[in-house]
Amino acid sequence: MVKGTSVLRELNKRKILSLIRQQGKSSRQDLVDQMNVSKNTISLIVDELIRHNVLEESGEKEEGRRGRPKVIIQINKETLKTIGISISKNHIDYSVINYYGEIIESKSLGNNSTDVKETIKEILKIAHILLARYEHVIGIGIGVPGNVDSEKKYIYESTHLGWENVSLDELNQLRSFVLVRNSVNMGATQALDWDSQAGKQSNLFYLRVSEGVGGAYVVNNKLIEGSSWTAGEIGHISVDAGGRICECGQKGCLEQLVNYNALINDLASIGIAPPSIIANSLLFEQKHFESNNVKNLMLDYGKNFGKALIYVMHLLNPSKVILDTPYNVFDDFQNACLSFIKKNALKMPNKNTKFIFEKERYDLSKGAAFSIIINYEQEMESYSF
């Protein structure tokens, strides 16, 4: 625990690491200018981080013909690391990344995650192996689908895993900081990674489709979890009053209409085999792209997403909406979604909201690992001096 001036020094250290991570490299003078602190303060911290192999000097750059060149400093990719673990019904995925967010190791393991005790045992096994394999791990992020209290490491309910009132206190035995969050929130953290590297302050809504449908809301680079840890729960917005009954009791929830099981059932009803599920994503075949029935199905899916996203736009007013869905590969899906929004959303959010349909699925285990970096950089900001 750091106190007094030590807190300020620690805050400056983490700010330095954050700036260098986002920019890729920097110099002592650039950090002085950006942080508005003395050159002596920056030099003392940078020199200490170099002694501990966290930072390294990587040559010089000429700023012009006059004056001394600036010595470039960057983060040593061999030191600070984080671990991310993501749990789904049939898999446990993990990633190890360096402080720049680059993957060092990543793997997907088959697992019956409906078995709580065995799943916790497997998580501990993976964590112990990775902690023994890698030095300088600053934390482990764990993503679990469901209603997760991140402070208590407690899962109140995970309908996809069949968990209810599950404590993950056993993770406290690990010799590392552990952060447990909802899986979709971890995906949003990876989106935040890409924005922070571009030097942007994120105000975004992230939507993910897999076994379920979830959302996460980020404001000023901070994840908003809500008082009951359900902020961004877009899957239970009703978009069809005459639709299927959802487990929550409503009719026509977005999740019931567009998740993996819904797609499999819809394809079966029109006599088309479903796509393969590989690494928690769908692999569509040429027959799916050539079918008019699938095209009509994607038009319906796009319209349903558009209906749900209008609520998000009007209530939360994000500057960016990221759709991480397997259906993004269909132009008909994207066009139907955007067309419905354009016709029905209010003028100003319609004009000012950017929609991104990612073709590559986000890696939730990498997002879980990156959440440790974000938490490490942000946790000192709450201190007052």
pLDDT, averaged in runs of 10, over the chain (385 residues): 71 94 93 94 96 90 60 95 95 96 95 96 98 96 94 92 95 95 91 60 88 91 86 92 85 93 94 86 93 97 98 95 96 98 96 93 94 88 43
Closest by CA to 181, choosing from 379, 371, 316, 321, is 371
CA–CA dist 116, 140 (Å, integer): 19
Q: What tokens were used for 327? A: 């259906």
Question: 259 in a domain, yes or no?
Answer: yes
Q: What tokens were used for 29? A: 């003078």
357 and 369 share a domain? no
Question: 383 in a domain, yes or no?
Answer: no
221 and 287 share a domain? yes
CA–CA dist 184, 165 (Å, integer): 19
Question: 34 in a domain, yes or no?
Answer: yes
Number of domains in the chain: 3
CATH at 132 = 3.30.420.40
Centroid of chain to Cα 285: 28
SS (H, E, C) 282-319: EECCHHHHHCHHHHHHHHHHHHHHHHHHHHHHHHHCCC
CATH at 39 = 1.10.10
184 and 215 share a domain? no
The residue out of 71, 89, 124 marking a domain boundary is 71
24 and 86 share a domain? no
Q: Which amino acid is at 250?
A: Q
Provide the residue range defining the domain that includes 292. 198-362
**For residue 67, what pLDDT is reported?**
59
Phi, psi of 263 (to 5 degrees): -65, -45
The radius of gyration of the chain's CA atoms, rounded to the nearest angstrom, is 23
Question: 98 in a domain, yes or no?
Answer: yes
What residues does 155 pair with on adjacent strands? 148, 166
Question: 290 in a domain, yes or no?
Answer: yes
**For residue 201, what pLDDT is reported?**
61
Question: 109 in a domain, yes or no?
Answer: yes
184 and 202 share a domain? no
341 and 294 share a domain? yes
133 and 171 share a domain? yes
φ/ψ region of 229 (left if φ > 0, alpha if ψ in -120 to 50, else beta) reads left
CA–CA dist 203, 315 (Å, integer): 13
**For residue 2, what pLDDT is reported?**
47
209 and 321 share a domain? yes
Could you tell me which residues come within 8 angstroms of residue 75 by beta carbon, excluding any fewer than 6 positions away? 17, 20, 21, 54, 55, 56, 98, 99, 100
185 and 258 share a domain? no
CA–CA dist 168, 176 (Å, integer): 14
Question: 385 in a domain, yes or no?
Answer: no
287 and 311 share a domain? yes
208 and 267 share a domain? yes
185 and 239 share a domain? no
CB 167 within 8 A of CB 344: no
CB 360 within 8 A of CB 323: no
Question: 107 in a domain, yes or no?
Answer: yes
